[in-house]
Amino acid sequence: MKPQADRLRFPEDEKRQPWLPLLLEIQHLSNLGVAAAIKADGRRLACARGCASCCRTHADIPVYPLELMGIAWYAEEKLAGELRSRVQRQLQLHRELGACPFLIDEACAIHPLRPMACRQFNVFNIVCASGEDAFHTRPGDVLKPDMKRKNEALREMLRHHDIKDGRERRRLVESGEVHRLAQSLRELRWESLAARMSRSRP
Ligand code: SF4
Ligand code: SF4
């Protein structure tokens, strides 16, 4: 699937949710980094809509607090109808799924707000086999991130944590300390989001 080139816009929501513009900027930076890395590599990307083995095999997807706010907002306010009900059910049962709770019919239900880690994991040449984690089976086919843009996105994200000093943001990213902010997507308590979704039907 081709990475999205433009920054997403939710004008009304961005006025109401002061953290949302920063998240959308960060995602845009992340997308630009992915697009640049794919172009630099030159090979054909195997990832495509409907291909989602990675959403089952990757049990340790990092999610940062700002990303989590975005996922929760999107699930509560943008999902509707049958898709919303199915996501809600999966969030309630997520510990038994053996897959990401947002995976519905081999597609990501929160695709516009999916975490950076999901945006960045791309595989060249051939589609992953069922249960295959290409990171281990054929690392040479896994996209190497554009570190300049990836780190820029992480530095910008630290503004959400009120770290105003640019040198400190750089230090936290370059030392890897920034990753301590992340939680594993599968370990989160998604039941509470499912309950909020029940109370806030759009
Ligand atoms: S990483 Fe593998 S399973 Fe996931 S979309 Fe790409 S080819 Fe498909
Ligand atoms: S958030 Fe979306 S892309 Fe990421 S693992 Fe879950 S279903 Fe897959």
Write out pLDDT tens, residues 137-187.
Answer: 999 999 999 999 999 999 999 999 999 999 999 999 999 999 999 999 999
From 47, 53, 31, 44, select the one nearest 145 (Cα to Cα): 31
Q: Which amino acid is at 24?
A: L
Task: Indicate whether 5 belongs to any domain.
Answer: no
Mean pLDDT value across residues 6-27: 97
Q: How far is the CA of 162 from the centre of ligand 2 (A)?
A: 28
Split into its structural domains, the chain has a count of 1
Q: Which amino acid is at 183?
A: Q
Q: What is the pLDDT of residues 43-99, one digit of tens each?
A: 999 999 889 999 999 999 999 999 999 999 999 999 999 999 999 999 999 999 999
Look up the pTM and report it: 0.95
Task: Indicate whether 174 belongs to any domain.
Answer: yes
**Cβ atoms 191, 96 nearer than 8 A:** no
Atom 5 of ligand 1, nearest CA residue = 47
Task: Indicate whether 4 belongs to any domain.
Answer: no
Q: What is the pLDDT of residue 27?
A: 97
Q: How far is the CA of 74 from the centre of ligand 2 (A)?
A: 14
Which residue ranges have their beta carbon within 6 Å of ligand 1? 46-47, 51, 53-54, 121, 123, 127-128, 134
Task: Indicate whether 136 belongs to any domain.
Answer: yes
Atom 6 of ligand 1, nearest CA residue = 47
Q: What is the pLDDT of residue 202?
A: 67
| Per-residue b or e along 139-165, where b marks 16 or more CB atoms closer than 10 Å to that residue's CB | eebbbebbeebbbbbbbbbbbbeeeee
Q: What is the pLDDT of residue 1?
A: 54
Q: Is 114's C-beta closer than 6 angstroms to any atom of ligand 2?
A: yes
Task: Indicate whether 3 belongs to any domain.
Answer: no
Task: Indicate whether 9 belongs to any domain.
Answer: no
Distance CA 76, CA 37 (A): 33
Query: 63 forms bridges with which residues in the sheet?
Result: 183
Mean pLDDT value across residues 13-38: 96
